[in-house]
C-alpha cells in the first residue's frame, strides 16, 4: 500500500535532517531557540510546493484551534530536541523519539478511537525498551544520559502533535491541515522576537545565518520533506502504526553517518567505533522487530 512507502520515506528524509541539525546546533547556533527561529523561517519557503500537489482551503472555525496547537507543537519540540543533540550521538537522539510511543497509543485511543491488537502493543513496548537502552552509559554504574530526559519531553510533544494531526485530517484535507499548521509555526517563531534575550541572540547570529544559510536551507528541505510525507501517511493510516514505522529513523541516521564520516568526520556527532556500532545495530534490530509486530495486523 502507498501509505507504507510514504511512511518509510519520511524517516529517511528526517535522518538526513538530523545530521544537519546536529552539525548546526553544535557548531554555529548553541541556543536552541535561535536555530529554531532560523530553521522555521527557512522552512516556510518550501510551503508553495504543497500547492502543486493539492490546493489548501480555509478551515472551519472548529478546526483552527487544533491547527494552532499543531503549529505550536512543531516549534516547541525543537528546544529539547536541539538540547539532546548537544549531549548525545545523533542516531541515539533519533532513536529516543520512540519514547513518544508511550503516549501515542493512549492519546490515539482517547481522541480518535484507534484500537490495536495485543501483538501490536507488544511491538510498541519492544520499540520503547530497545530505544531507551541506547542511552545507558556504563561507567561505575549504569546511568541514563541527559538526552533521555530531553527526548522524553520532545517525544511527548510530538505524540500530542501526531494525534492532533490525525484529528485534523479527519476534518480537512491533508494539504489544508499541513499548510495552516505550518503557517501557525511561522507565526509562533515570529512572536519569539518579543522576548528581548531571544531577539538579541537572533540578531547576534544573523551574520552566522547568512554565512551558513545554505546548510539551514538543506536541513529545512529534508525536514520539510520528512514532515510532509509523515503527515500524509498519518492522513492515510492509523497514527500509532505510522509513528511506529518511523522508528527505523535511527537506522537511517547511522547509515548516513557511516557514509559521510570518511569524508567529513568533523561534521558528525556520532561514535562509529566497532563496539558502538554493534550495540546500536543490535538495538535497531530489536526496534525493527517491534515495527514488524506493530504493522503485521
- Position 101 scores a pLDDT of 64
Divide the 297 residues of the chain into consecutive groups of 10 and give the mean pLDDT of each group. Answer: 80 90 88 90 86 87 92 92 88 78 65 73 79 66 71 85 86 90 92 91 90 90 88 78 75 83 73 79 81 67
Q: Give the separation between CA 289 and CA 255, rounded to whole angstroms.
A: 18
- Position 292 scores a pLDDT of 73
Q: Give the separation between CA 31 and CA 219, rounded to whole angstroms.
A: 17
- Position 149 scores a pLDDT of 84
pTM: 0.79
Burial bucket for residue 5 (CB in 10 Å: 0-12, 13-18, 19+): exposed
Residues 239-287: tens digit of each pLDDT: 767 777 777 788 888 888 888 777 777 777 777 777 878 888 888 788 7
Amino acid at each position: 500500500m502507498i501509505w507504507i512507502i510514504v511512511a518509510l520515506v519520511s524517516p529517511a528524509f528526517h535522518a538526513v535532517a538530523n545530521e544537519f541539525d546536529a552539525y548546526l546546533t553544535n557548531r554555529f547556533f548553541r541556543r536552541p531557540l535561535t536555530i529554531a527561529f532560523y530553521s522555521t523561517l527557512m522552512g516556510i519557503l518550501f510551503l508553495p510546493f504543497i500547492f502543486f500537489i493539492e490546493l489548501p482551503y480555509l478551515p472551519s472555525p472548529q478546526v483552527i484551534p487544533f491547527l494552532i496547537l499543531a503549529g505550536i507543537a512543531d516549534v516547541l519540540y525543537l528546544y529539547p530536541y536541539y538540547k539532546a543533540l548537544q549531549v548525545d550521538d545523533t542516531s541515539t537522539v533519533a532513536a529516543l523519539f520512540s519514547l513518544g510511543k508511550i503516549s501515542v497509543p493512549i492519546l490515539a485511543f482517547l481522541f480518535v478511537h484507534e484500537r490495536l491488537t495485543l501483538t501490536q502493543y507488544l511491538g510498541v513496548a519492544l520499540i520503547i525498551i530497545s530505544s531507551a537502552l541506547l542511552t545507558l552509559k556504563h561507567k561505575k554504574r549504569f546511568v541514563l544520559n541527559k538526552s533521555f530526559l530531553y527526548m522524553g519531553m520532545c517525544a511527548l510533544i510530538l505524540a500530542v502533535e501526531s494525534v492532533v494531526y490525525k484529528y485534523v485530517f479527519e476534518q480537512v484535507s491533508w494539504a489544508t491541515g499541513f499548510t495552516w499548521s505550518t503557517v501557525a509555526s511561522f507565526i509562533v517563531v515570529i512572536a519569539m522576537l518579543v522576548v528581548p534575550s531571544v531577539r538579541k541572540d537572533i540578531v547576534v547570529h544573523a551574520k552566522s545565518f547568512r554565512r551558513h544559510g545554505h546548510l539551514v536551507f538543506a536541513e529545512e528541505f529534508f525536514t520539510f520533506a520528512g514532515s510532509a510525507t509523515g503527515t500524509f501517511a498519518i492522513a492515510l493510516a492509523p497514527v500509532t502504526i505510522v509513528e511506529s514505522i518511523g522508528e527505523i529513523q535511527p537506522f537511517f541516521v547511522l547509515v548516513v553517518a557511516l557514509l559521510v564520516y570518511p569524508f567529513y568526520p568533523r561534521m558528525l556527532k556520532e561514535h562509529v567505533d566497532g563496539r558502538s556500532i554493534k550495540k546500536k545495530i543490535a538495538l535497531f534490530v530489536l526496534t525493527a522487530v517491534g515495527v514488524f509486530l506493530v504493522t503485521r495486523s
